[in-house]
Amino acid sequence: MKQMIILLAAFVSFPMMAAQIHKWIDKNGNVHYGEKPKDGTESEIVRVSDKYLIPYVDALDAIRYSEVKPHRPVALVDFKFEMPGQSSGQVRIGRIPCTEPPIDLYWTDGVVQFENAGTAVTVADTFNENGYVFENALGGAPSGGSLHLNITIRDMKFNYCFERGNKKSQKAGSYLLIEWELIDPLQRKTIFKGKTKGANNSFDQGYRLKGIDISAEQSLQMATRNLLADQNFVKHLVPTDLKEMKESFGTTVRINYSYGLANTSFNRRVDELKANSVTVKVDGGHGSGVVLDEKGHVLTNAHVVGDHTKFRVSVNNRTYDAVLIRKENIRDVAILRIEDHNSDFAGVNIARLEPDVGDDIFIIGTPLNVGLEHTVTKGIISARRELNNLPFFQTDASINSGNSGGPVFNSKGELVALSVSGLFTRGGASLNINYLIPINDAIESLNIETESTMAELTKQLEGKTVVEGTKTLLMMIDEWLDEPVIKLF
């Protein structure tokens, strides 16, 4: 075993209650005992004086990862023990049955422990041999974009004997019940939680050097493979297809959003942009959002919406009820519509072109508490990233809890992205590595389309003279084509 340390406290046993155990014989004539009968076999219930017999556990086939596209890495961020009664220190976990009388094994805090690094290596090796990327982030910061894995030992059993005159030569059996929790930091929620078992009974293999370590490692390997055999876990590691997101909705939502013109700046429009940046309030929390059109459609993060059914949107110093139109959890975007509003919302302009690395950006949101609404922060596009087959912008601009779903503008005051997440230390300090959802991806994943290009053109030309209209039209063509046209003015 890779430095997996198991320390056991042994005490003379006391008389024990008889336990009810299932007994069955497999096709090879081997006798098995377990807490539950094995499916497809005939078992009998027996009563034994030792309830610490190692139970039988089915070894399942792990689902191998064979996709060409890489998946998001899994990072182990926490490993702990939480067993019933462990605080008292009197948790029997097994026996040394070869002595007379037998000796009970107890778990006490620090007396039985898996050395963390060794545990991480064993789990990592099992992930790697089945095609998955795994990293040990215990005591450190996980890589950007990784899924975070927490491991909790819920139960354990160990039986072992040592060779006379050589206590390091052992034959052993072991059992582990492990709870796994997979967290997506981009969605800021647990996406999988489940338990698996692993067992190994190698008494028939005779004495081996550090036999109990070997048995424990094999139980951990089995529990990990059984996790990778669970489709409900593995599905979260498969790269996401943006096209499939869009098609999953079937119908298109039509919103009269408009594209920007290159004849202005963020600084000139900051008051207008703040007036279309909103606070989305739900029971127990809040996030940010942005108004897309005059009908009050608001774009935000799906994790801001969550599973709530009631929403309040604060905009222009007023608060309105809102309804959920659509949300997409994987891309982490959602559309709300403000109800019964009397104000004429303008909506922001969407950029046709994505920002380049190094470009200035401006973020508006409501960080930390609602009293800080319309906070503006500035940064740059630090990099382009692909996480779980989805594109993100990385930025050094300050983003805090409450900024989620807030608009990100370029230097022209055009909407280029939504705030979504950031990396923080365990103490809560920002690492200045924050992620943004490109606006065109957000819109596409929700299957949203503008009502019509002609409607947009009509809106842009409304009230303008022929000369002003011609100038506006040329600027729109310039923006659409991403190349200069003849400048007459």
Is 40 contained in some domain? no
Is 42 contained in some domain? no
Q: With a cut of 70, list the residues of the chain below it in pLDDT.
A: 1-24, 30-40, 45-52, 85-92, 94-97, 99-100, 102-117, 144, 204, 240-250, 261-262, 343-344, 423-431, 451-461, 466-489
Assess whether 91 and 225 both reside in one domain: yes
Is 224 contained in some domain? yes
71 forms bridges with which residues in the sheet? none
Assess whether 438 and 477 both reside in one domain: no
Assess whether 205 and 351 both reside in one domain: no
Assess whether 207 and 272 both reside in one domain: no
The confidence score (pLDDT) of residue 219 equals: 93
Assess whether 444 and 483 both reside in one domain: no
Phi then psi for residue 303, to 5 deg, are -75, -20
Domain boundary among 168, 202, 237: 237
Assess whether 336 and 383 both reside in one domain: yes
Is 104 contained in some domain? yes
Is 80 contained in some domain? yes
The confidence score (pLDDT) of residue 246 equals: 59
Is 32 contained in some domain? no
Nearest Cα residue to 405 out of 273, 278, 288: 288
Assess whether 229 and 190 both reside in one domain: yes
Assess whether 379 and 392 both reside in one domain: yes
Count up the domains in the chain and report the number.
3
- CATH number of the CATH domain containing 306: 2.40.10.120
Is 22 contained in some domain? no
Nearest Cα residue to 156 out of 120, 122, 112, 193: 112
Dig out the tokens for 303 from the structure.
């994790």
- CATH number of the CATH domain containing 62: 3.40.50
Q: Are 333 and 418 in contact (CB under 8 A)?
A: yes
The confidence score (pLDDT) of residue 289 equals: 94
Assess whether 435 and 336 both reside in one domain: yes
367-371: long-range contacts, CB 8 A cutoff, minimum separation 24: 367/398, 367/399, 367/400, 367/401, 367/402, 367/403, 368/400, 368/401, 368/402, 369/402, 370/279, 370/281, 370/286, 370/314, 370/402
User: What is the C-alpha to C-alpha distance for residues 187 and 192, in angstroms, rounded to an integer?
Assistant: 12
Assess whether 258 and 311 both reside in one domain: yes
Domain of residue 476 covers: 452-489
Assess whether 281 and 227 both reside in one domain: no
The confidence score (pLDDT) of residue 181 equals: 97
Domain boundary among 237, 259, 275: 237
The confidence score (pLDDT) of residue 15 equals: 35
The confidence score (pLDDT) of residue 427 equals: 58
pTM: 0.60
The confidence score (pLDDT) of residue 486 equals: 43
Is 45 contained in some domain? no
Dig out the tokens for 304 from the structure.
């801001």
The confidence score (pLDDT) of residue 481 equals: 46
Assess whether 200 and 314 both reside in one domain: no
